[in-house]
Structure 1
Amino acid sequence: MFRLVLGAAIGYVLGSRAGRERYEQIKRWSSRAADHPAVQGAAGVVRAKISELIHGR
């Protein structure tokens, strides 16, 4: 959920400055980046670390 909001916010700001075509390009790029296995793996590690900190394991 967080990455969706972050991607949308970044895409909106950059896209509004560069026009609709650039906005769509940024949106496609951010979607591909967020779905990349390396990014997914890093997100899983971060989630696990946060869970450890919250739950004190």
Structure 2
Amino acid sequence: MYRIVLGAAIGYVLGSRAGRERYEQIKRWSRRAADHPAVQGAAGVVNAQISSGLKKKFKR
């Protein structure tokens, strides 16, 4: 999930420097990548691991 956010931020900066058309291309690519089933599955696994870790940390 962290990598997706980082990639979106990098895409934003590069797109803004390259002009509006290039920015729109990068934005479309990043949305397609974020919607890919493999990315969604990985995000689900990471989310479950984080939730599990938080439950263990705050368990009394």
- The question of a shared fold, defined as TM-score above 0.5 by the shorter chain, is answered with yes
Structure 1 unaligned runs (5+)? none
Q: What is the RMSD computed on CA atoms of the aligned residues?
A: 1.9
| Higher relative contact order (CA closer than 8 Å, sequence separation 6+) | 2
Structure 2 unaligned runs (5+)? none
Counterpart of 1:27, as a letter, is: K
Q: Which aligned runs of 4 or more in structure 1 are off by greater than 6 angstroms? A: none
SS of the residue corresponding to residue 40 of structure 1 reads helix
Length, aligned pairs only: 53
Identity across the alignment (%): 75
1:28 matched residue in structure 2: 28
The TM-score normalised by the length of structure 1 is 0.80
The TM-score normalised by the length of structure 2 is 0.76
